[in-house]
Structure 1
Amino acid sequence: MNQLLLVAPVLLPIAGGILMLMIPEKEARVHPIFTELIVLASSAMIWAVLFTGREQGNGAVLFSMAGNLKVFFRMDGMGAVFSGLVSVLWPLATLYAFEYMEGDRRGREFFAFYTMTYGVTLGIALSGNLVTLYLFYELLTLVTFPLVLHDRTKEAIRASRKYLYYSIGGAAFAFIGLVFVLIYGSTADFTLGGVLNKGVPGFDTNVILFMYVLAFFGFGVKAALFPVHSWLPSVSVAPTPVTALLHAVAVVKSGAFAILRLTYFSYGADFLKGTWAHYVVLGAVLVTIVYGSTMAVKEVHFKRRLAYSTISNLSYVLLGAVMMSAAGMAAALSHLVFHAFMKICSFFCAGAVMHQAGRNYVYELDGIGKKMPVTLACFTIAGLSLTGIPLFAGFISKWNIAQAAVGLGGIPGFLAAGVLLYSALMTGIYMMTVVVRAYFPKEGYDETALDGVKEPGWRMLTPIVIFAAVILFFGLYSRPLFHFLQQTAGGSGI
C-alpha cells in the first residue's frame, strides 16, 4: 500500500485549515466548500486504507526525533475503528455546520480550525506509538481551543480558559506516563499485551502502577473523568457543531481511545489486572458514571444536560476498558462507536431546537415536538438508545459491557453491573423528560410562543436523520461489527 495514504489524511486537513485562514473573510461562500472538499478527500483516503487491510506493512514514518523516538502512523484494528468512525461522522457534521454557522462573522476562522481538528483527530487514530499519540493529543487542545472561544463572550472566554487549563494539566500527567513507558518498556510502539520489560534495572511495580494511574487521569481529562470533568459542561457555550464534536467524536473519544491504548497496548492488561491501580481506576470510573447521570437529571439547560450525559456515558467506554480483558476491550470499542452516533444525533437535535426556536432550557420545550416532529423523533431514538432499550444500538454496547463486568467476577463485577442499572434509570429520566415535554406539554402552555418555528433546512436535518437511522440499524444488525471488534481485542483485527 502507498504509505502516503496513511500520512495524507492527517496532513491535508491541517494544511487546508491553515490555508483557509489566508482566504479573505469576504469570500464567505468559499469556506464551506473548501472545508467539505478537504474532509471528503481525507475520508476517502481513510477508507482506501481500510480496504487495503494488511498491505499497510510497518506503517509510515513522518519524522524521527532524538534517539529512537519517531512519529509514525499505522493502521491496526484499533486505528481502523476510530479513524473509520471519525471519517464517517465528520463530513456529515460539516454539512450540518454549513447551515448552523451561516452568516457567522467568524466563519472563516471557525471552518479553518474545524478542518484542522479533523486532521489532528485522525493523527490520534492512526498513531503507531505512544509518542505520536501524545503529540497529536497535545495538538488537539491547541486547535479546539479557538473553537470553544469562538463567540468571544465572557462565558466563552471563561470556558475556553478552563478547557485549556484542564487539558494542559492532564497532558502533563499523561507525559509522565509516557516517560515511564519509554524508560521501562521495550518499545514505545503499540503492542497488544503491553511493552513493559520487568528486567530493566530499577523496575519497581508499585511506582509503575502509580505512573499508570497518573497517566490514566491525565488522558482522563479529555474523557471527562471525575474529578477532572468540569470543563465539559462549561464548553457547552460553544456553537453546537463544536460541542457535538467535543462530546461525540474528537475530544472525549480521543481521551477514551488514548486510555484504551495506554491500558492494553503500553502497560498491558495482564500487568494491571487485580492490582491496587486497577481498583483505583475502576472506582473512579464507577463514580463518574453515577455522578454524571445524577447531575444530568438535575440540569435544566438543554445542552449542559447532554454534557453531563456525556460524562456518564463516556465512562461506560472506560468501564469496559478497565475490565482488563478482551471482552472488556471489545465492549468498550462497541460503546465508543455507538455512543458517537447517539450523542452527535442528540446534540444536533438540541442544536436544531436552539437554532430554530431559540429554546435553551428543558422547561421551554413544551409542544416543540408538534413544530419539529422529525427532529424530536430522531432525538427520541437517540434518547431510547442512550437509555439502553432493546432494538437500539445503545442496548447492544451496554449489554456487552454488562457481560464483561459480570465476567470480572466478585464484588467489583457486580458493583459495576449495579452502577450500569442505576445509570440506565437516570438516563431514561433525563432523556425522556425532554421527549414528554416536547410531545405532551402541560396544560395551558402558550402555543403561540412557537408560531413560526419549523424544521431546519436539509443541511441540518439530513445528518440528524442519517445518525438516527444508523442507531436503528446497529440496534438490529451489529453482529459483523462486533465480530470485528472481538477480533481486534484478540489481536487478529486488520
Structure 2
Amino acid sequence: MNYLILLPTFAAFLLGAGVVYQSMDDIKKLNKYAVLSTILVSLTAAVTLVSMSGESVTLFHFNDLLKISFKIDGLSTVFGAMVSFLWPLAVIYATEYMKHEGKQRKFFTFYIMTFGVTLAIAFSANMLTLYLCYELLTFITLPLVMHTTDERSKYAGTKYLVYSVSGASLAFVGMMIVLAKGGSLDFAYGGLGTLGSDTTILLAYIMMFAGFGVKAAIFPLHGWLPGASVAPTTVTALLHAVAVVKAGVFAIMRATYYLFGTQVLAGTWAQDMVMSIAIITICFGSWMALRSKHFKRRLAYSTVSQLSYILLGVTIMTPAGFAGALSHMVFHALMKIVLFYTAGSVLYMNHKEYIRDIEGYGQKMPKTFFCFTVCSLALIGVPPLAGFFSKFSIATAAAALGDRMGFIGICALMFSALFTAMYLLQIVVLAYLPHKDFEYGKLIKVKEAPKSMTMPVVVITATMVVLSLFSKPLFTFFEVVAKGGF
C-alpha cells in the first residue's frame, strides 16, 4: 500500500488551511501564497498520476465490503490531469477577480481545499469512498456559492445544498441495494457482471444515475445550476466547467462501467431510460440557453446541455461511446471555462451582466473576445477544433448502435449544435459587429482585462487549439481507458 497517493489531497487541505494565517493587509502576499500552493498541489498530483498508476491504498477497513480506499487507474488519470491543469490557472485568474468580490482569505481557503476533495474523488477506488468525497465536495463548495452572503447567494446556496444532498441520498440507497444483492462496491472494469440484469439491480442503477445526475444537471434535476450563477465568476467557472458538475459526470461513469458494467445494463429498459434523460437534457439546455439574456445564465444552461453530451456517450454503453464521453469531458472543461472567464472579465471591468450590453466589446477587449470566439466555435463543433472531434465520436458511437435510441441521439446532437451556434454566435456578432448607428464613444472607459485575467484565458485557449490539432494520440489514450486499460 502506498499512502503517497493521498499526498495531493492532504497537501491541498493543509495549504488551504494555511491561507487563514495570511494577513488581509497584504493581498499581494496572500495571492502569491494561493498561487504557489495550488501549483505545488498540481505538481504533486501530476507526479502521483505518472508514478503511481495502478497503485492503491486502503485508509480504513470496516469489513470485506466497506472500506475507504484510493487507487489510480486510467479514468482517474483523465479526471485528475484535467483538474490539475486547470486549477492553478483558475487561481491566477481569481487573484485579480476577487479584488472585485472581497473576502479573499475565506475564498482561497475553500477554493484550494476543493481542489483536494476533487482529486480525492478522482482517486477513489470504490463507490463508498467516492460517495463520501462527493458529499464532502458539496459542503466544501457551499461557502463558495454563498460567498457574497446576500439574499440571492443564500437562496442559491440553500438550493444547491438541498439538491445535492437529496441526490446523494438517492445514490446511497442505490449503493445499499447493490450490497443487499451481494454485489461489491469496488471499482473494476466490467462491474457486477455475474449478478444479472434483474429489475432490482437496474432500479439501483437508475437511482444512482439520478442521484449523481443532480450535480451533472440532468433534467429535471438541473434547477440548482443556473441559480448558482449569482456566485463570483471564479466559482461558477469552477462549478460549471471543472469540479462539481464533472464530479457528477465522473461518478456516473464509475457507476456505469466500473460498478454495474455494460454487460448488466446494455440493451435493458434502464439504458433506454438514461439515454432518454440525456437526450432530453441536451435539447432542453440548448433551448433555455438561447432564451436567456443574462450572460452567465446563458452559459449555465449551455453547461446543462453540454454535460448531457457526455452522458449520452456514457449511456451508449460501448467503448466508443465512453471514449467520446471522455474526450468531451476534457474538451468541454477547456472551452467552457474560457467562456465563463470572458463573462467574468466583462463584469469585472465594466459591470455588465447582460448580453445586450456587450456591443462593440470585441474591439475594446480583443484578447478576451478572440479567445471567446475560438472556444465558441469549438463548442459549436466547427472542425478542426476539439469540440468537433468529441461530438463526432459520440455521434459515431450512437450511429453504431443501429437502433431507435441511437438515431434519436444523433438528431438531438444536430438540434443542439444548431442552437449552440445561435446562442454563442449572437454574442460574437454583437461584440464585433454592432448595429450601424452604434457609437463607440460610449465605450471609452471599456478596456482589456488585466494580465492576470487574460493570461489564463489565452493559455487555456491555446491548449485547446493544440489538443485539437494533435488530437489523435489523445483519442488513442481515451480509447485505451474506455476499454479498461492503463
TM-score normalized by structure 1? 0.95
Give the drift of 1:67.
5.3
Which moved further from structure 2: 347-356 or 439-448? 439-448
C-alpha distance in structure 1 between counterparts of 2:62 and 2:444, whole Å? 62
Number of residues of Structure 1 aligned to a counterpart in Structure 2? 486
AA partner of residue 207 (structure 2) = L
Q: 2:247 aligns with which of 247, 254, 260?
A: 254
Give the drift of 1:51.
2.4
Q: 1:92 aligns with which of 60, 67, 89?
A: 89
1:120 is aligned to 2:117: yes
AA partner of residue 157 (structure 2) = S
CA deviation string 1:211-264 (max 9, x = no partner): 111110100000000000011110001111100010000000000000000000
1:487 is aligned to 2:486: no
Which moved further from structure 2: 252-261 or 437-446? 437-446
Q: Which runs of 5+ in 2 are unaligned?
A: none
CA deviation string 1:296-352 (max 9, x = no partner): 111000000000000000000000000011111111000000000000011111111
Q: Partner residue of 2:188?
A: 191
AA partner of residue 390 (structure 1) = P
C-alpha distance in structure 1 between counterparts of 2:197 and 2:258, whole Å? 20
1:351 is aligned to 2:344: yes
1:141 is aligned to 2:134: no
Which moved further from structure 2: 132-141 or 10-19? 10-19
Q: 2:150 aligns with which of 133, 148, 153?
A: 153
Give the drift of 1:8.
0.8
1:263-274 alignment, distance < 5 Å: 263-274=256-267
Which moved further from structure 2: 463-472 or 28-37? 28-37
Say if 1:402 and 1:420, in contact at 8 Å, map to a contact too: yes
AA partner of residue 387 (structure 1) = I
Q: Which runs of 5+ in 1 are unaligned?
A: none
Give the drift of 1:491.
1.7
Q: Partner residue of 2:464?
A: 471
Give the drift of 1:46.
1.7
Partner secondary structure for residue 62 of structure 1: strand
AA partner of residue 36 (structure 1) = V
Give the drift of 1:61.
1.8
Say if 1:141 and 1:167, in contact at 8 Å, map to a contact too: yes
Give the drift of 1:39.
1.5
Say if 1:240 and 1:351, in contact at 8 Å, map to a contact too: yes
CA deviation string 1:187-224 (max 9, x = no partner): 321101013552xxxx8811111111111010000000
C-alpha distance in structure 1 between counterparts of 2:182 and 2:36, whole Å? 41
C-alpha distance in structure 2 between counterparts of 1:445 and 1:130, whole Å? 56
Partner secondary structure for residue 384 of structure 2: coil
Give the drift of 1:185.
4.7
1:436 is aligned to 2:465: no
CA deviation string 1:262-290 (max 9, x = no partner): 00000111111111111111111100000
CA-atom RMSD in angstroms: 1.6
C-alpha distance in structure 2 between counterparts of 1:340 and 1:350, whole Å? 16
Partner secondary structure for residue 446 of structure 2: coil
Q: Partner residue of 2:16?
A: 17
Q: 2:355 aligns with which of 362, 367, 371?
A: 362
Label 1:116 to 1:182 Cα distance change in 2 as closer, same or farther (>3 A). Answer: same
1:313 is aligned to 2:332: no
1:299 is aligned to 2:292: yes
CA deviation string 1:358-415 (max 9, x = no partner): 2111111110111001100000011100100001110010010001110111111111
C-alpha distance in structure 1 between counterparts of 2:100 and 2:293, whole Å? 29
C-alpha distance in structure 1 between counterparts of 2:219 and 2:34, whole Å? 35
C-alpha distance in structure 2 between counterparts of 1:358 and 1:442, whole Å? 22
AA partner of residue 46 (structure 1) = A
TM-score normalized by structure 2? 0.97
Give the drift of 1:23.
4.1
AA partner of residue 240 (structure 2) = H
Label 1:111 to 1:266 Cα distance change in 2 as closer, same or farther (>3 A). Answer: same
C-alpha distance in structure 1 between counterparts of 2:71 and 2:339, whole Å? 32
Label 1:305 to 1:136 Cα distance change in 2 as closer, same or farther (>3 A). Answer: same
